Amino acid sequence: MGISRRPISIPHALCLALSLLLVISGCSTATTTESAPPATMGLARAHAHNDYEHERPLLDALSHGFTSVEADVWLSDGDLLVAHDNAETTPDRTLRSLYLDPLSELASQRDGVIFPEGPDTMTLLVDVKSDADPTFEALEDQLAEYENLVTTFGPHGVEIGAVTVVVSGNRSETLLEVDASLHAAYDGRLDNLDTPVSGRVPLISHNWTEVFSWSGTGETPTDEQDELSEIVASAHEAGRRVRFWNTPEREDLWGELVAAGVDMINTDRLAELEEFLLESDPEPATPPLTPWPWSSAGGPW
């Protein structure tokens, strides 16, 4: 039996053609986005705030050379789910699937590093949203499965891995109290500048607006410039990096952070900060604090 064919009207044909064009165009765009590879040079100061909210969590940041990313996590049925609010969590968006597995795969492809050119370790800032202690216990159990990937904080020093995990948000004091080896560090605040366990507190983070009034427009107050420089100097003297959150997204403010030696610049605007650092940071791939004083066995503890 022959196949019956009916003539296609001109309007129908046009609709089909337009539909096909849209499909092809959409597929082409998606393919281009999905195939954007990680950069080979890492921007030492670039930190992706709430990284998981981008179209491609982690992958977008890596393609722009970001050497630090932030993931909010909630403990749910023994797993760590990534979302800003608990109501937004879904079982398929886990710390393992979005971050640990792809970072592990990339490190294996690049001889044990994330960026061949740039800092010796990438930062994964895990912002704990659920209860501190049980969430940290679940995180530690999970990170133990990635010993070849993550930095280990031991009783006699620190062994640097391709990825250094730092716990922020609801931080468990266990990070500062136990003598056993751990696979994550503690995100300090300004009142932790003098905390003696440098290896366990490699980072000092604080809310910009709690310390400074300058929003990135007009002249920078001299007293605030001095205070910023003093904070950075104190942190670096103890072998700690500095990050501020809630910073206005303005290039003049980014410029002051670079000039003061701030180690990590928070942003949601990946492409804009990448362009700024490549143009304005004298050594964009070199960390202001290098090497980390605690980065070898026997370092300060």
Mean pLDDT of 216-228: 97
Mean pLDDT of 184-211: 93
pLDDT tens-place string over residues 123-169: 999 999 999 999 999 999 999 999 999 999 987 789 999 999 999 99
In the chain, where the domains are located: 40-280
15 CB neighbour count, 10 Å cutoff: 12
Supply the pLDDT for residue 199. Answer: 84
Nearest Cα neighbor of 113 from 158, 148, 154, 69 is: 148
pLDDT tens-place string over residues 229-250: 999 999 999 999 999 999 999 9
pLDDT tens-place string over residues 72-111: 999 999 999 999 999 999 999 999 999 999 999 999 999 9
Separation of alpha carbons 277 and 151, rounded Å = 26
Class of domain 40-280: alpha beta
pLDDT tens-place string over residues 101-116: 999 999 999 999 999 9
If you average pLDDT over every residue of the chain, what do you get? 88
Mean pLDDT of 192-207: 90
Supply the pLDDT for residue 196. Answer: 84
